[in-house]
Amino acid sequence: MTVVDRINAFARRVPTWVLYILYLLPVPWLLYLAQTGGLGREPIKALEHELGEIALQLLIIGLTITPLRRHLGINLLKFRRMFGLLAFTYVSLHLLVWLVLDVGILSQIWADILKRPYITIGMAGFVLLIPLALTSNNWSVRKLGAGWRKLHRLSYVAVLLGGVHYMMLTKTWALEPVIYMAVILGLLALRLPKLRSKQAA
């Protein structure tokens, strides 16, 4: 039994609900930390950034599922919807913290969305994820047929916007957002027709 077989056998045995719970645990944990000083002296920004970073990680994990199967034979397909929905949950929480706890002033929220490019871009990414979250169910997959796959390619754009959003908010050249962006671009490059056909040959 190869390593790949072992991974696939293990993945088959793990129910998705276990992973849902596991991946949602950071939410109460972060809220607890924020209340008890574990996120530093300014917990609002810290919480906002933590949630945003987890969201980006989940979106990236979602992008790895197809290449893992195509190039390495690892089949985690049954978790793909879960990662997408979890990512949407974290993006929503990230946005909610920004709206309610961070800014909290309606006129300023609106002005920020229109005037601040990194917020405009982040917002656009969130909006793109809404139809994807709404159609992440079996009924929609059946109903939309081939259109479903096309629609869900919007996730490529959304992840890209998320990466740009992160890169734009640092004051100086920082390593982390650049690494995220590089990973995103790499995963998207694997989807280019040329690379796909090379693998098939």
Q: Least distance (Å) from other proteins to the CB of residue 88?
A: 23
Task: State which residue, 144 or 169, has the beta carbon closest to other proteins.
Answer: 169
Q: Least distance (Å) from other proteins to the CB of residue 34?
A: 5
31, 32, 37, 42 alpha-carbon torsion, rounded to 10°: 0
Give residues in contact with other proteins (CB under 8 A). Answer: 34-35, 40-45, 47, 101, 103-105, 108, 111-112, 115-118, 168-174
Extract the tokens encoding 10: 């293990």
Task: State which residue, 14 or 114, has the beta carbon closest to other proteins.
Answer: 114
Instruction: Give Cα 41 distance to the centre of its chain.
Output: 27
Q: Least distance (Å) from other proteins to the CB of residue 160?
A: 19
Residue 153 DSSP symbol: T
45, 168, 55, 39 alpha-carbon torsion, rounded to 10°: -20
Task: State which residue, 137 or 170, has the beta carbon closest to other proteins.
Answer: 170
Q: Least distance (Å) from other proteins to the CB of residue 59?
A: 23
Greatest distance between any 2 Cα atoms in the chain: 61
SS3 assignment, position 151:
helix
Task: State which residue, 44 or 154, has the beta carbon closest to other proteins.
Answer: 44
